[in-house]
Structure 1
């Protein structure tokens, strides 16, 4: 594995593909690399894989509403974890590239060490790696369509065309990631850690959950008052 100073998109894609080809993935967390940056790259990928599976299950039409609700709650959790991992990837990359003070990187006010004149990139390297993870899932799923024996030749041929497009899209995205990291290393560009603040998962901010809590408190108060 490479470190955050020499990370290349090819190594990211190879990690994604290798994990998808491993039977125990994504259940076995022992497959996560120990090196911090790659650990979080793989953790992001793992949560995308778990999220993908739950999204498939949530579209079932012959199970109870309770089962779908269970899937939707799982989706929220995996989506939060996926974003948290993306933020950790960005923090470690910025530290490795010398673009943020290491001690403040995880705070709400990280101290920037960006060279004067560097341009701000709107998309972070971590978010590009997250997109590559999703592309790996699409590629894996489409490749399986090209190998099906229960469909006709037209289906397999159409799937092969789509697979080739997906592979090109991932390669293009990887080139953009490599270009951004090269510019960052040269002091020409930088990116920031953007906190996602997924408010729908937080009972303090989600209006529906706040209303639910108030209703429960009022009901409890009325019950207590009534003896």
Structure 2
């Protein structure tokens, strides 16, 4: 099942990232560059780097100018993340292009890649909650609370994984079909954000 493969790849990516623990570290995927595994590895690496950017910008003592710089970098990284999700959806659209949906087929609330995006973020939550549940400098109460949260996150991963696998099986069987909409983010586009185009000279 795709979710089992994805979860293993996400865990591998997170582990590899933390060998460096450097936001600027370039990802080196161990997978064939033409494979879905390669795309999933890069997708999670993007998410992991952004996770740590979000940590940095929340430092209450950060210099405001530096904080704004990080915020803009996060915006750019989020666009990269969105582009990668849409690229992965392109993979699935090509994979299922010869399947004829049944007359009763329905579209899902989200595409396969956006569901996988949630699974990638969930892998990061699990990794870091596990860290907190085992952090020796934390109080017993903190570790206990984090362990309880970790249990919930693990259950959520099981449910989400099953839902993703079921969606793909339904698409393959023609019971559901893919309908992908581009995100059309407006705030980064100087022609769509009024703050940007009204200040253009």
> Scaled by the length of structure 1, what TM-score is found?
0.81
Q: How does 1:175-214 map to 2 (within 5 A)?
A: 175-213=162-200
Question: In the TM superposition, what is the alpha-carbon distance from 1:116 to its structure 2 partner?
Answer: 3.3
CA change 1:99–1:89 in 2 (3 A) is farther
Q: Is the 8 A contact 1:16 1:136 kept in 2?
A: yes
Aligned to 1:123: 110
Question: In the TM superposition, what is the alpha-carbon distance from 1:32 to its structure 2 partner?
Answer: 5.7
Q: Is the 8 A contact 1:118 1:188 kept in 2?
A: yes
Question: In the TM superposition, what is the alpha-carbon distance from 1:40 to its structure 2 partner?
Answer: 2.3
Is 83-92 or 43-52 further displaced after alignment?
Answer: 43-52
Aligned to 2:29: 31
State the distance in 2 between where 1:157 and 1:188 align: 43
Question: In the TM superposition, what is the alpha-carbon distance from 1:99 to its structure 2 partner?
Answer: 5.5
1:8 to 2, 12, 16: 2
Aligned to 1:107: none
State the distance in 2 between where 1:164 and 1:135 align: 12
Is 185-194 or 21-30 further displaced after alignment?
Answer: 21-30
Question: In the TM superposition, what is the alpha-carbon distance from 1:115 to its structure 2 partner?
Answer: 4.4
By relative contact order (CA 8 Å, sep 6+), the higher-ranking structure is 2
State the distance in 2 between where 1:63 and 1:84 align: 29
1:156 to 143, 155, 161: 143
Question: In the TM superposition, what is the alpha-carbon distance from 1:176 to its structure 2 partner?
Answer: 0.4
Aligned to 2:127: 140
Q: Is the 8 A contact 2:14 2:44 kept in 1?
A: no
The total of aligned residue pairs comes to 196
Aligned to 1:87: 86
State the distance in 1 between where 2:77 and 2:184 align: 14
Question: In the TM superposition, what is the alpha-carbon distance from 1:200 to its structure 2 partner?
Answer: 0.7
State the distance in 1 between where 2:101 and 2:30 align: 31
Question: In the TM superposition, what is the alpha-carbon distance from 1:181 to its structure 2 partner?
Answer: 0.2
CA change 1:200–1:48 in 2 (3 A) is same
- Consecutive unaligned residues of structure 2, counting only runs of 5 or more, are none
1:36-65: per-residue Cα shift (whole Å, max 9, x none)? 422222222122112111111111121211
Q: Is the 8 A contact 2:133 2:143 kept in 1?
A: yes
Kindly report the root-mean-square deviation, in angstroms, between the aligned alpha carbons of the 2 structures.
1.7
- Consecutive unaligned residues of structure 1, counting only runs of 5 or more, are 1-6, 101-112, 218-227
Question: In the TM superposition, what is the alpha-carbon distance from 1:29 to its structure 2 partner?
Answer: 2.0
